[in-house]
Chains A and B, each alone.
Chain A
Amino acid sequence: MSNEISPSVPQNKPQHPAVQIDGVGKSFSGTVALEPVWLKIRQGEFLTLLGPSGCGKTTLLNLIAGFLEADCGELFINRDLVTQVPPHRREIGIVFQNYALFPHMNVAQNVGYGLRTRHVSKAETAERVREALELVKLEDFADRKPNQLSGGQQQRVALARALVIRPKVLLLDEPFSALDRNLRTAMQVELKEIQTRLGLTTVFVTHDQSEALSMSDRIAVMSRGQIRQIGSPTDIYDRPQNQFVSTFVGDANLFSATFMDRDETSVRLTVGTTQLQLETYQDDLPELGPVTLFVRPEQCKLTQAGEAGSIPATVALTVYQGSYAEVHLDCAAADNRVMQRVPASEAPKAGTKVGIALPSRGPAIYKLNGEVE
């Protein structure tokens, strides 16, 4: 949780948090959807709530928007207590997964809706709608109905509609999941540009870890109604604090290991018959004894069989992926098949005996608790 200053925050922002969540929790008829969470979102920050479905991320978003009433805790937006404030007085912009454009209104009417509720004058409404449509490059589509637009255009309209009211916070509920792959990447870049330019505090809900890593200033990884780790994308990817985060974000190779000994900065373990000494970044180390060793594939190297310090393995198959090849390895010490990416030209044949060399820093060890999701 270093890297506290995100580059996208303009300098003249006030210091108090844009959103402060103090112990807000929610249950639905006895089932806990969200354990009480504490979270401060900085002015202009792009914060992602990342997790599998049912992890509580959408519940938290709905609580911030005011669509749900919290069972406990308090919620502040720009230092104002809003726990009891209904959604229409929270001044929050939302883009939903299916965009929820009003089908009986054209694009300009959709975008202008939030201005009409605020009794903005006709002339100013027209001007601000035009500006908002310009921002999302849809000036020429003002008279279209939503069903005459492509998915990407609908999303831009939804974004313009949310931005035109100059919201205090922008909430994004899986806004890219309905788009095809190429369009999704383009829209991500566009959204991030607009968000940075406007210095807009944004809460983004997604289950897609690559979206989270590429767009966020900070990511809160959630599972089972709890925030499991919060930090910059680098923190989350390079220094996951628990097994859930390590396996949910990015690929991970898992080895069964025995935790032998530790000192201030390093740990000693054995994997099968291989002895390893690794530097550690972890806040909490498990007790000595059987543990799971977690390593990112790109941190491992394939070596000749029997090389000192390497873990013996056999190539099960290689999968050609164009610029690289995936090598799947059977390894006695691994919980699952180990996966490695190598340049396509260097891919070993199935059946080849190889070694897996681990880096001296980067891997983490966790007590196995069956939480791989």
Chain B
Amino acid sequence: MKKSLVDHLLDWSGRILLTMILGFVLLPFLVVFIASFNDSAILSFPPKNWSLRWYTNAIEYRDFGKGLVNSLKIAAIGATVAMIAGSGFAYVLNRYEFSLKSLLNSILMSPLIIPNFTIGLGLLILSTAASLPRTIWLVIGVHVIIVLPFVIRSVYVSLQNFERRFEQAAESLGAAPLRVLLTITLPLLVPGLISGALFAAILSFNEFTASLFVVNQSTQTFPVAMYNYVREYADPTLAAVSVIYVIAVAALLLVVHKFFRLEKVLNVE
């Protein structure tokens, strides 16, 4: 059958709309990407001369290196702790009925409502009052509080979609509850757990506001280091850092995709 004019118009307007949406989402990155190759020391657009010197500068700037190591450490430990604690909470919320369930649920979800700077400020005051040293563990604690709700949600959704028949089949075959958990439930939840940990790690890596309150010179995170840099210099180094950052996260997602299929991990299948 031949396509009518209306079909053609719809077809083309659909394509244009899709391109516009994609462009809108990608526009900030595109601008930063181009600006990072600008030879001029002033963040101007579009660039007149091209250079890679801001990339060299970004790599050689010591605070970025230290901040990156801190952030990776915080993200890895924080995400692991949040995943273990969050899975436990999600399991309890999903499987058990108890009188204070809705209260526990709202407490666990409250970091979604309370702004990050409040959490940071609160823990800063608390740690000062208790004269806790401002070590990296304080930063990790703050990050765990912030990412926990996301992990709980992610694991909770996986549990919600979990086919209980698998567990019942295992039970009927003589497996006691702990054995069912270890040999059936956990192995089948791995994609959900990975997804929760991945979210947690990326959120933690991006977190800035709360961290600003609780870090010091030696524990500053990557975003805080970037913030401190931009307060002193206005050159395109940060654009170069952004490009490196985006490429690194994309590489991480590709690795996850290779091993676990991202659609499954992100529950969008």
Residues of A within 8 A of B (CB): 65-67, 86-94, 96, 98, 100, 102-104, 113-114, 117-118, 161-162, 165, 171
Contacts and interface: CB of A to CB of B under 8 A. Distances in A.
B174 A100 contact: no
A86 B171 CA distance: 9
A100 B180 CA distance: 14
- Of A67, A88, A103, A114, most buried by chain B (CB within 10 Å of CB) is A88
Interface string B175-219: 111011001100110000000000000000000000000000000
A87 B171 CA distance: 6
Contacts of B19: none
Contacts of B165: 96, 98, 100
Interface hub of B169, B173, B183 (most chain A Cβ within 10 A)? B173
B170 A94 contact: no
- Best-buried of B166, B179, B180, B187 by chain A (most CB within 10 Å): B166
Contacts of B166: 100, 102
A92 to B, nearest CB: 6
Contact of A113 (B163, B175, B177): B175
A104 B183 CA distance: 10
Interface in B127-150: none
B173 A103 contact: no
Contacts of A96: 165, 168-169
13 contacts: A86-B171, A87-B171, A88-B176, A88-B177, A91-B174, A98-B163, A100-B163, A100-B169, A102-B166, A103-B188, A113-B175, A162-B172, A165-B174
A90 B176 CA distance: 11
A87 B168 CA distance: 8
Nearest to B170: A113
For chain B, give the interface size range.
10 to 19
A88 B171 contact: yes
B168 A102 contact: no
A113 B171 contact: no
A93 B175 contact: no
A58 B180 CA distance: 23
B179 A117 contact: yes
Contacts of B174: 88-89, 91, 114, 117-118, 165
Q: Shortest 9 CB-CB distances between A and B: which pairs?
A: A114-B173, A100-B165, A117-B174, A87-B171, A100-B169, A94-B172, A117-B175, A88-B171, A104-B187
B188 A93 contact: no
A102 B185 CA distance: 10
Given A88-B175, A114-B174, A117-B179, A104 B169 contact: no
B183 to A, nearest CB: 8
A104 B176 CA distance: 19
Nearest to A65: B172
A157 B171 CA distance: 17
Contacts of A93: 172
Contacts of A117: 170, 173-176, 179
A65 B175 contact: no
Interface in B200-258: none
Given A100-B165, A102-B166, A88 B172 contact: yes
Contacts of A65: 168, 172
Contacts of A100: 163, 165-166, 168-169
B184 A102 contact: yes
